[in-house]
Amino acid sequence: MNAFQRCINPQCNATFDVSEVLHRCPKCGALLDVDYEWDKLPVPNSLAHFEKYWGDRANPHRFSGVWRFHELLPFAPLEQCVTVGEGQTVLQRNNGVAEYVGKSADSLFLQYEGLNPSGSFKDNGMAAGTTHGRLVGAKTAACASTGNTSASLAVYCGVTKLMKAVVFIGSGKIAYGKLSQALDYGARTVQIKGDFDDAMARVQEVSKKLGIYLLNSLNPFRLEGQKTIMFRVLEALRWDVPDWIVVPGGNLGNSSSFGKAFIELHKLGLIKKVPRLAVINAAGADSLYRLYNDEKLRWNGGNIDQSKIDAFYAQMDKENRRANTIASAIEINRPVNLTKCLRALDFCDGVVRKVTEQEILDAKAQVGAHGFGCEPASAASVAGTKQLVEEGIIGKDERVVCILTGYQLKDPNATVAYHGTDREFYEQVLGRRGVAETPYANSPVVVDNDIDRILDVLK
C-alpha cells in the first residue's frame, strides 16, 4: 500500500506504517494524519471520474457514499473496506431556511448527514475506522462518546460482527435517542460517573491496558472517512465548489477532515477554488471560539503556540468552567482535534462563531419546518450562518452549505419541549438554559373530546 501515517507537526514529520495502532505521534505527541504517496497511486484526473460508479449500485462498495471515493482514501484494499450502506445522504437546496438566515433564494443548501444508518455523520468515519480496526486484527473496539459515536460504533459492530463494541459515556448528558441505539445494537455500554472528558480519559487508559482498538475522533482513519462528506457535497453540486461550508464544532473532527479533504483535492488539482470554512461552537462550549478569536491561536505553519492552549485550559480548570449546552453532541471542553482544525481554518480562510441556546433551538425549529429536521447540535450551523450573514461576512448571494450532522429524532426531548405545551417539561429542558421564547413553536392544540370543538379547531 502507498499509505502511511504522518505526524502533523512539520518540525517532526515522522511517518509510521498504516498497520501501527497509534493515537498520537510517539515522537512529539502531535496528532497523526493518514497520508499517501499520491504519485504512486491511480489518482483520477477529474472529480467527474466518480460518476462512472453511479451505475454500479449493486456493488456495496460503489453504493457506499464513503467507498465510492476509495481512490481519495486508499489506505486499505477496497475488498477489505467495511460498509453498512453509509453515505446515502442528501444535499437539499432550502429556500425556507435561506430566508430565515437572510440569504437570497437558491443560495443555501443543507447537507443531511442525519440520513446515515445510525442517524449521524459519524458513520462516514466509522466505516473507515472499523476498516482500519479490521486491518490490524482488532477483536474489540471502544469509544467515548456524547452519544452519536457510540451509536455508530454499535451499528458497525452489530451489523458486521467484525469486532465487539464497548462504549463509554458520561452520566446524565446523553440524549435518549442515542443511548437507546447503543443498547439496542448490543454494545457493551459503560456509563462513567463523570462528563465526556472524563469518559474520554478513561477509555484511553482502558484501551491501552486491554489492547482494545480505540475509535475516538483522535483516530486518524475515522477522519479519512469523513472527508467523503465534502466529496458528496461537491458531487451534489456537480463538482462546483460552494463559497462556504458551515459546520458545528465539538471535538473538531469533522472540520479537520473537511480541511484535509480540500487540502488534498487542491493539491491533486481536482479543485481550483477552496471554500471558506465556518466552525460554529455553542456559547456554552466555546473553547475553539475563545482560543481562535480571543487568544488569536493560529496554525502558523504548524508552529502552534502550545503555551496559549495550556494557559487557556489551566484557566478553565481554575474557574471550574465546564461545557454546558442543549447541543450535547458539541458539549466538549477540550476538543481533541484542535490543532488539525486550526490547519483547516488556515487553509480554508476560516472563521469561528458561537451561538446561544436560543439561536440553536430557533434554527432547529426552522430546519424542521422547512426540511427533514435535525438534532440541536446540527442547527448550530444554520444559527451560525444567520449570524455571519448579519455581520456581512457571508454574502447574501454566496453559496453556503450547512452540514446537518445528526437526525431529528436523536433528541426528541428538545423538540417536544420547544413545541409542546407542558410548562414544567419546558422549564426542565429549555427554560433553565435561558431559552426564553419559542417564536417558531408549532404547539399541539388541546381540545375537549367533542366533535364540534374539534371541528372548531380545524376551521
Ligand X SMILES: *Cc1c(COP(=O)(O)O)cnc(C)c1O
Using CB under 5 A, list all residues that contact Zn ion: 7, 9, 12, 14, 25, 27-28, 30
233 binds, among ligand X, Zn ion, none (CB under 5 to 8 A by kind): none
Asked if 84 and 156 touch (Cβ cutoff 8 Å), the reply is yes
Give me the least distance between CB of 413 and ligand X, in Å please. 15
Task: Give the full edge-to-edge strand order of the sheet including 15-17.
Answer: 15-17, 3-7, 32-36
Give me the least distance between CB of 175 and Zn ion, in Å please. 36
Q: Which is nearer to ligand X, 175 or 430 (CB)?
A: 175
Q: What is the DSSP string of 254-286?
A: HHHHHHHHHHHHHHTTS-SS--EEEEEEETTB-
378 binds, among Zn ion, ligand X, none (CB under 5 to 8 A by kind): ligand X
Judged by DSSP in three states, 308 sits in helix
> From start to end of 82-218, where are the E strands?
90-93, 108-112, 140-145, 164-169, 188-191, 213-214
248 binds, among ligand X, Zn ion, none (CB under 5 to 8 A by kind): ligand X
Q: Which is nearer to ligand X, 23 or 61 (CB)?
A: 23
Q: Which residue is nearest to ligand X (CB)?
A: 406
94 binds, among ligand X, Zn ion, none (CB under 5 to 8 A by kind): none
* Residues in CB range of 300: below 8 A, 6 or more apart: 346
Asked if 261 and 233 touch (Cβ cutoff 8 Å), the reply is no
Give me the least distance between CB of 339 and ligand X, in Å please. 14
Q: Which is nearer to Zn ion, 7 or 154 (CB)?
A: 7
Q: Which is nearer to ligand X, 114 or 275 (CB)?
A: 114
* Residues in CB range of 422: below 8 A, 6 or more apart: 416
Q: Which is nearer to ligand X, 25 or 126 (CB)?
A: 126
253 binds, among Zn ion, ligand X, none (CB under 5 to 8 A by kind): ligand X
Give me the least distance between CB of 87 and ligand X, in Å please. 15
Give me the least distance between CB of 336 and ligand X, in Å please. 8
Judged by DSSP in three states, 300 sits in helix
| Beta strands at 276-282 and 400-404: parallel, antiparallel or unpaired | unpaired
250 binds, among ligand X, Zn ion, none (CB under 5 to 8 A by kind): ligand X
Question: Under the rule (CB under 6 A), what is the footprint of ligand X?
Answer: 120, 122, 148, 217, 248-254, 329-330, 375, 377-378, 405-406
Nearest CA to 217 out of 251, 183, 240, 176 is that of 251
Q: Which is nearer to ligand X, 242 or 253 (CB)?
A: 253
Which residues lie across from 239 on neighbouring strands?
none
28 binds, among Zn ion, ligand X, none (CB under 5 to 8 A by kind): Zn ion
Q: Which is nearer to ligand X, 249 or 373 (CB)?
A: 249
Give me the least distance between CB of 29 and Zn ion, in Å please. 7
CA distance 91 to 107: 12
> From start to end of 283-386, where are the E strands?
351-355
Nearest CA to 373 out of 406, 330, 324, 416 is that of 406
Q: Which is nearer to ligand X, 282 or 429 (CB)?
A: 282
Grid cell for residue 58: 449493486
Give me the least distance between CB of 84 and ligand X, in Å please. 17
30 binds, among Zn ion, ligand X, none (CB under 5 to 8 A by kind): Zn ion
